[in-house]
C-alpha cells in the first residue's frame, strides 16, 4: 500500500521570554514616526521627522482610506476565473490607498546591552519590499511582504539611542486582493550573548509515541564551541517532567532524545501543550536560555484511508483565511484573531489554511492553544505572473530563503500538519513548472521531513498530464468537483484534498426572489442572495462538496473559501462600483455569521444543537407571494408553521445535494406574523423549536459585547454587536439607520464595520449605517485599568450604552 507517514510535534513559540543578562526581547511597538511618501534622506539619524505622524506598530497605513474606484484600477482578464477578455476591475485590491512608498522611524535604547552582545533585528511582516537602515547605515533589504526575516545588526547597534528607519514600497498591480501596507506585524530587537542558540535554531519532533511514553527529539543549533546544553521539559501546569544534558555537537547542532511518560496528545479536541527550556553553558557559565512550547501528536497520510491524527481518521473541516482583519486592515491584533477562531470553533471548524501567504506568529500560537490544524501556505505566484508586479519578480532570488524562514520559524507549532508551496500558480502547465514544484517540495522536506507538501491546483487536467499533481505529497484540488473521481484514479497518492472549496457568494441578511440555484448572478444593488444557492462560474454551492466529503473516504477534507469576507476580490461584482470586498465568507467582514454559517455548523459541530431559519420574516409588499423557507439543522426532520398553520414536515433525503443537507419549504406564501419550526429527533419526537416574528419600526438600540473585560495593554478589543429592535423587543432585520459612536473612560473607539461590501463609509470614523439590521463596534483598551463606556445613538432611536472593564 502506498503510504506517506509523517510524525511530528511542536515547538518554538515566536515570542521569546526575556532573561536578565542572557537574552532580552524588546518589541518596538511604540514611539514610531510615520509618513507616506519618498524621502531621500529619511534614513539619516539627524533627519527631521518632528512633523510626521505618531503611530504604533503593527500598523496598516492604507486602511484609513478613503475608498476610491481609481486606486489600483486594473484592466485584466482573471485567468483563474476563466476570463479570456480583459475588463476594468475597480475593487480588486479593496479600493484603499495601499500603493506608493512610506517611511517609518523609531528611536530606541537597549537594556543590558554591551559591545560584545549579539543583536538581532526581527521583522514578522513588512508590506512590502522593505529597506532597513540603522543609525544611518543600510542593514539590508527583503522583497516579499508576507515573509518573516531578520538581520544580525551587532555591527550597526550602539550604546544609548539607536535610530531605525524602514522604507516600504507597494507597487500598483502587485496583488489580487487587499495586501495592506506598512509594518503590519511585530518588529523586535533581540539582545543575547554571542555564545547563544541560533534564531529559530530549535527543532522538536516526536519520532515515537504510544500511550505509555513518547520520545521527544530536540535538535538545537547554537553559536558555540565546547559547550553543553541542558533541556528540561515541563507539563502545562509547570511541573518538571524530564531533563537531559549533552555536550556532544554534530557540526553546530546538539541532538537530544528525552522521554515523556504517559504523554498527553495534542488534538483539536485536547490542545495540550508542553514546554521545553533549553539552557546553553560554556563551562559552568550559563550563556543563553530559550523557552519553547510544543505538543505531542502523530500524523499520517495513507492511500484510500486518508489523514489520521493520533491514530484516528480525521477529516479536515477547514476554512481559508486571508490575512486582513476587516476594519483593522492587515495590522495584526491577537484579540481580533482570537475572536475569529472562537467563531470558527463554534461552527465546528477544525482547520485553517493561510491564503495565500505565510501566517502570523500570533495566529499559529492561538491555533496551538485553541485546537486548529493548520495548512501553512507560502506563495500565490512562482516564476510565471498572475499580476504585473507580483512575486514572480522575486521568485528566483527569494523563494528558497522565504521557505527556509517560513519553516524554521514555525515548524515547532503542533497545529501545522501540512505545508503548501503555492496556490493556482500558472506554472502548473509545462515541464518547467513540474521541476519548480519538485524543487520547492524538496526545500520543505529538507527543512522539515515530518510534514507533507501540497499545492492548490486549479488546472487539474494539465497536472494529470504533466506529472505535476503526481509528484506532490498531497494533491490539492481547488474546486473542480467534477474531476475528483478522475484525479483519484490518475494520481498515485490514493487520496485527494479539497484545498479550496465552494466559493459560494452571499450577503448577510439579503434574500433574492425567485429562489433558484445560479452562477454569476448579479443584482442592481450589487448584493448576493443569502439563500446560499449562488456561486461563481468556476465554483459551486457547499452541498456538492459535502457529498464528496461524506461519501468518499479518500477525500481527506476541505478548506472552504472563505471563513470570513475579506477586503478586495468582490466577485461577482469586480467590474462594478461601489463594491470593494468579497462575498465568499461564511461570516461577513464584521465577523457576523451569514446564514451559511449554520449550514456548515449543522454538519461540522457534532456536540451542539443547530436550528436556524431563513429568511427573515419582514416582507412588506410581498404578502401572498411565494417566499421559500429554509432550515439548517443537525436534526433530520422538522415541521414549519406560519401563524400556527402547518406547512408540513420536511425530511432530509438524497434526491439532490440540497435536499440531503437542508430542509426546504419552497411553496410558502408570505404573511406577516410568526414563523416557527419544530425539529424532531430520529424517533420522531419534537426536541427543539425556533421562531421568527415580523418586526415593527426600529425603536431601541441593543448592544451585545463578545467580552466585557479587557486587558489594559492598549491593544485588547471588545467586539460589540449593535442591532435595533421594535417596541416589543423584536429584531429589525432590514434596519439601515445611521448610528454614531462615542467611547469614554479608559478605552477608545477603534473602528466599526457593518459587513456591507458596497459601503464606502470609513471604518475608523465614529459613525456608520446598519446593514441588515446590524453592525459591529470595536472598543480598544488603553494602558490604564478602569471603566470604559460605549454610547451608541441614532436619530429617532432610544440610545444604547454599555460599560466594560479594563484590568491589568
Residues 617-666: pLDDT tens digits? 999 999 999 999 999 999 999 999 999 999 999 999 999 999 999 999 99
Give me the chain's average pLDDT, please. Answer: 95
Average confidence (pLDDT) over 552-577: 96
pLDDT value, residue 283: 93
Position 10 pLDDT exceeds 80 = no
Give the whole-number percent of the chain exceeding pLDDT 70.
Answer: 97
Residue 16: pLDDT band (50, 70, 90) is very low
Phi-psi region of 714 (alpha: psi -120 to 50; beta: other; left: phi over 0): left
Distances (CA, A) of 763 to 325, 355, 360, 600, 803: 12, 24, 23, 29, 22
Q: The C-alpha cell of 275 is what?
A: 514546554
Instruction: Write down the pLDDT at residue 56.
Output: 98
Residue 9: pLDDT band (50, 70, 90) is very low
* Assigned domain for 372 exists: yes
Burial class (CB in 10 A: 0-12, 13-18, 19+), 231: buried
666 and 626 in a common domain = yes
- Whole-number Å distance between alpha carbons of 142 and 667: 60
Residues 687 and 742 grouped into a single domain:
no
CATH of the domain at 178: 2.60.120.260
Q: What is the pTM of this model?
A: 0.95
Give the C-alpha separation, 582 to 539, whole Å.
Answer: 15
Query: Is the same domain home to 32 and 164?
Result: yes
**Position 6 confidence tier, pLDDT thresholds 50, 70, 90:** very low
User: Do 458 and 570 sit in the same domain of this protein?
Assistant: yes
Looking up cell 435595533 gives 724
| 166 within domain boundaries | yes
**Nine-digit cell string for 257:** 532524545
Does one domain contain both 683 and 803?
A: no
Helix axis angle, 361-370 to 395-410, nearest 10°: 40
Quick check: 589 and 346 in contact, CB under 8 A? no
| CATH code, domain carrying 773 | 2.60.40.10
The reply to whether 415 and 555 lie within a common domain is yes
Contact status, residue 122 vs residue 148, Cβ threshold 8 Å: yes
Comparing CA positions, the residue from 456, 441, 432 lying closest to residue 80 is 456
Residues with a known catalytic role: 424, 500
3-state secondary structure of 159: coil
Domain assignment present for residue 612? The answer is no
pLDDT confidence of residue 21: 66
* Residues with Cβ within 8 Å of residue 551, at least 6 apart in sequence: none
DSSP sequence for 36-104: ES--TTTTSTT---TTSEEE-SS--GGGG----TTTT-EEE--GGGT--S-EEESSTTTTS---EEEEE
Same structural domain for residues 54 and 107?
A: yes
All residues at 6 or more sequence positions from 722 whose CB lies less than 8 Å from its CB, including other chains: 701, 702, 703, 704, 739, 770, 774, 775, 776, 777, 792, 800
Q: How does residue 25 score in pLDDT terms, banded at 50, 70 and 90?
A: very high
Are residues 475 and 582 part of one domain? Answer: yes
Q: Which residue in this structure is represented by grid cell 503542533?
A: 414
Task: Report the alpha-carbon distance of residue 457 to residue 467 in Å, rounded.
Answer: 12
**Separation of alpha carbons 199 and 94, rounded Å:** 36
Q: In this structure, are residues 221 and 198 in contact, taking their beta carbons and an 8 Å threshold?
A: yes
663-665: strand order across its sheet = 611-614, 629-633, 663-665
Angle value at C-alpha 34, between 108 and 360, nearest 5 degrees: 80
Query: Counting beta carbons within 10 angstroms of the beta carbon of residue 440, is it exposed (0 to 12), middle (13 to 18) or buried (19 or more)?
Result: buried
Question: In this model, does residue 412 exceed pLDDT 90?
Answer: yes
Angle between helices 431-447 and 395-410 (to 10 degrees): 30
Per residue in 237-258, pLDDT tens? 999 999 999 999 888 899 999 9
Residue 475 vs residues 93, 359, 459, 780: alpha-carbon distances, Å: 29, 21, 12, 43
Identify the domain boundary among 604, 636, 651.
604
Q: Is residue 567 part of a domain?
A: yes
Crossing angle of the two packed helices 542-551 and 595-604, in degrees rounded to 10: 10
Is the same domain home to 398 and 485? yes
Burial per residue of 598-627, b for 16 or more beta-carbon CB atoms within 10 angstroms, e otherwise: bbbbbbbbeeeebbbbbbbbbbeeeeeeeb
For residue 490, give its domain range.
318-506+536-604
Whether 389 shows a pLDDT value over 50: the answer reads: yes
Domain boundary among 172, 192, 212: 192
How far is the CA of 193 from the CAs of 200, 222, 288, 630, 724, in angstroms? 16, 11, 7, 64, 59
pLDDT in tens, 345-361: 999 999 999 999 999 99
Assigned domain for 522 exists: no
Q: How far is CA 418 from CA 31, 413, 451, in A?
A: 38, 11, 6
The answer to whether position 592 is within a domain reads: yes
Q: How far apart are CA 99 and CA 500, in angstroms?
A: 29
- The pLDDT tens digits for 496-540 are 999 999 999 999 999 999 999 999 999 999 999 999 999 999 999
Question: Is the same domain home to 185 and 210?
Answer: no
| pLDDT recorded at residue 75 | 82
Q: Are 794 and 737 in contact (CB under 8 A)?
A: yes
The domain that holds 372 is classified in CATH as 3.20.20.80
> pLDDT tens-digit profile of 427-459?
999 999 999 999 999 999 999 999 999 999 999
330 within domain boundaries: yes
Cβ atoms of 490 and 464 closer than 8 Å = yes
Overall number of domains in the chain: 5
Q: Give yes or no: residues 157 and 31 share one domain.
A: yes
List, for residues 198-239, the tens digit of each pLDDT value: 999 999 999 999 999 999 999 999 988 889 999 999 999 999
540 neighbors 489 (Cβ within 8 angstroms): no
Contact 628, 666 (CB under 8 A): yes
Contact 350, 372 (CB under 8 A): yes
- Give domain status of residue 50, yes or no: yes
Residue 2 reports pLDDT greater than 50:
no
Q: Which of 672, 693, 714 is the last residue of a domain?
A: 693
Give how far Cα 110 sits from Cα of 125, 157, 159, 504, 783, Å.
22, 9, 7, 51, 22
Task: Answer whether 177's CB lies under 8 Å from 355's CB.
Answer: no
Shared domain check, 186 and 104: yes
Handedness of CA 346, 351, 354, 360 (dihedral sign): positive
Amino acid at each position: 500500500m502506498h503510504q506517506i507517514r509523517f510524525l511530528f510535534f511542536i515547538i518554538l513559540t515566536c515570542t521569546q521570554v526575556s532573561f536578565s543578562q542572557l537574552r532580552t526581547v524588546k518589541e518596538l511597538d511604540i514611539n514610531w514616526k510615520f509618513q507616506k511618501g519618498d524621502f531621500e534622506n529619511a534614513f539619516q539619524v539627524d533627519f527631521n521627522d518632528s512633523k510626521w505622524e505618531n503611530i504604533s506598530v503593527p500598523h496598516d497605513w492604507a486602511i484609513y482610506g478613503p475608498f476610491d474606484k481609481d486606486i489600483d484600477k486594473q484592466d485584466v482578464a482573471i485567468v483563474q476565473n476563466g476570463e479570456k477578455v480583459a475588463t476594468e476591475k475597480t475593487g480588486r485590491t479593496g479600493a484603499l490607498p495601499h500603493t506608493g512608498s512610506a517611511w517609518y522611524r523609531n528611536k530606541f535604547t537597549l537594556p543590558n546591552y554591551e559591545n560584545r552582545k549579539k543583536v538581532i533585528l526581527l521583522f514578522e511582516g513588512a508590506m512590502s519590499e522593505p529597506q532597513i537602515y540603522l543609525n544611518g547605515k543600510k542593514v539590508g533589504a527583503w522583497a516579499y511582504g508576507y515573509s518573516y526575516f531578520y538581520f544580525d545588526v551587532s555591527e550597526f547597534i550602539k550604546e544609548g539611542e539607536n535610530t531605525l528607519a524602514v522604507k516600504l514600497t507597494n507597487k500598483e498591480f502587485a496583488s489580487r486582493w487587499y495586501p495592506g501596507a506598512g509594518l503590519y506585524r511585530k518588529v523586535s530587537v533581540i539582545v543575547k550573548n554571542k555564545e547563544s542558540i541560533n534564531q529559530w535554531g530549535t527543532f522538536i519532533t516526536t519520532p515515537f509515541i504510544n500511550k505509555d511514553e513518547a520520545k521527544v527529539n530536540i535538535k538545537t543549533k547554537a553559536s558555540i564551541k565546547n559547550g553543553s546544553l541542558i533541556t528540561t521539559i515541563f507539563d502545562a501546569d509547570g511541573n518538571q517532567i524530564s531533563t537531559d544534558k549533552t555536550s556532544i555537537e554534530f557540526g553546530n547542532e546538539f541532538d537530544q532524545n528525552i522521554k515523556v511518560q504517559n504523554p498527553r496528545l495534542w488534538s483539536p479536541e485536547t490542545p495540550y501543550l508542553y514546554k521545553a527550556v533549553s539552557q546553553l553553558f560554556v563551562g559552568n557559565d550559563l550563556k543563553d536560555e530559550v523557552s519553547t512550547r510544543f505538543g505531542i501528536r502523530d500524523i499520517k497520510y495513507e492511500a484510500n484511508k486518508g489523514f489520521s491524527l493520533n491514530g484516528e481518521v480525521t477529516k479536515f473541516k477547514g476554512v481559508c483565511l486571508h490575512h486582513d482583519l476587516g476594519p483593522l486592515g492587515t495590522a495584526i491584533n491577537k484579540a481580533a484573531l482570537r475572536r475569529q477562531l472562537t467563531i470558527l470553533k463554534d461552527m465546528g471548524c477544525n482547520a485553517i489554511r493561510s491564503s495565500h501567504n505565510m501566517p502570523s506568529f500570533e495566529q499559529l500560537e492561538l491555533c496551538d492553544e485553541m485546537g486548529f490544524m493548520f495548512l501553512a501556505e507560502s506563495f500565490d505566484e512562482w516564476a510565471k505572473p498572475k499580476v504585473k508586479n507580483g512575486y514572480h519578480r522575486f521568485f528566483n532570488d527569494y523563494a528558497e530563503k522565504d521557505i527556509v524562514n517560513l519553516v524554521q520559524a514555525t515548524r515547532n507549532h503542533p497545529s501545522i500538519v501540512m505545508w503548501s508551496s503555492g496556490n493556482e500558480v500558472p506554472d502548473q502547465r509545462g515541464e518547467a513548472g513540474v521541476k519548480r514544484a519538485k524543487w520547492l517540495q524538496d526545500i520543505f522536506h529538507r527543512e522539515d521531513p515530518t510534514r507533507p507538501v501540497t499545492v492548490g491546483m486549479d488546472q487539474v487536467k494539465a497536472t494529470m498530464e504533466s506529472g505535476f499533481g503526481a509528484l506532490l505529497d498531497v494533491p490539492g484540488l481547488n474546486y473542480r468537483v467534477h474531476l475528483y473521481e478522475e484525479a483519484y484514479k490518475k494520481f498515485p497518492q490514493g487520496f485527494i484534498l479539497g484545498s479550496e472549496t465552494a466559493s459560494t457568494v452571499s450577503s448577510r441578511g439579503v434574500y433574492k426572489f425567485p429562489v433558484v440555484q445560479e452562477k454569476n448572478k448579479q443584482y442592481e444593488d450589487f448584493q448576493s442572495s443569502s439563500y446560499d444557492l449562488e456561486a461563481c462560474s468556476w465554483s459551486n454551492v457547499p452541498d456538492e462538496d459535502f457529498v464528496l466529503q461524506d461519501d468518499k473516504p479518500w477525500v481527506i477534507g476541505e478548506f472552504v473559501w472563505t471563513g470570513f469576507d475579506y477586503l478586495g476580490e468582490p466577485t461577482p461584482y469586480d467590474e462594478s462600483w461601489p463594491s470593494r470586498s468579497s462575498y465568499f465568507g461564511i461570516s461577513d467582514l464584521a465577523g457576523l455569521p451569514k446564514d451559511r454559517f449554520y449550514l456548515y455548523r449543522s454538519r461540522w459541530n457534532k456536540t451542539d444543537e443547530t436550528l436556524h431559519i431563513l429568511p427573515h420574516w419582514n416582507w412588506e409588499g410581498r404578502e401572498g407571494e411565494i417566499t421559500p423557507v429554509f432550515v439548517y439543522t443537525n436534526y433530520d426532520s422538522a415541521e414549519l408553521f406560519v401563524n400556527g398553520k402547518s406547512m408540513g414536515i420536511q425530511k432530509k433525503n438524497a434526491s439532490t445535494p440540497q435536499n440531503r443537507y437542508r430542509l426546504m419549504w419552497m411553496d410558502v406564501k408570505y404573511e406577516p406574523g410568526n414563523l416557527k419550526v419544530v425539529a424532531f429527533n430520529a424517533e420522531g419526537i419534537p426536541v427543539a423549536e425556533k421562531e421568527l416574528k415580523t418586526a415593527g419600526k426600529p425603536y431601541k438600540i441593543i448592544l451585545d459585547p463578545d467580552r466585557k473585560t479587557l486587558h489594559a495593554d492598549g491593544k485588547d478589543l471588545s467586539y460589540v454587536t449593535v442591532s435595533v429592535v421594535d417596541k416589543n423587543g423584536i429584531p429589525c432585520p432590514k434596519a439601515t439607520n445611521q448610528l454614531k459612536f462615542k467611547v469614554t473612560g479608559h478605552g477608545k473607539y477603534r473602528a466599526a464595520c457593518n459587513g456591507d461590501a458596497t459601503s464606502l463609509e470609513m471604518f475608523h470614523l465614529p459613525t456608520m449605517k446598519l446593514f441588515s439590521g446590524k453592525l459591529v463596534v470595536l472598543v480598544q483598551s488603553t494602558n490604564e485599568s478602569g471603566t470604559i463606556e460605549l454610547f451608541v445613538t441614532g436619530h429617532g432611536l432610544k440610545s444604547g450604552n454599555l460599560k466594560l472593564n479594563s484590568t491589568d
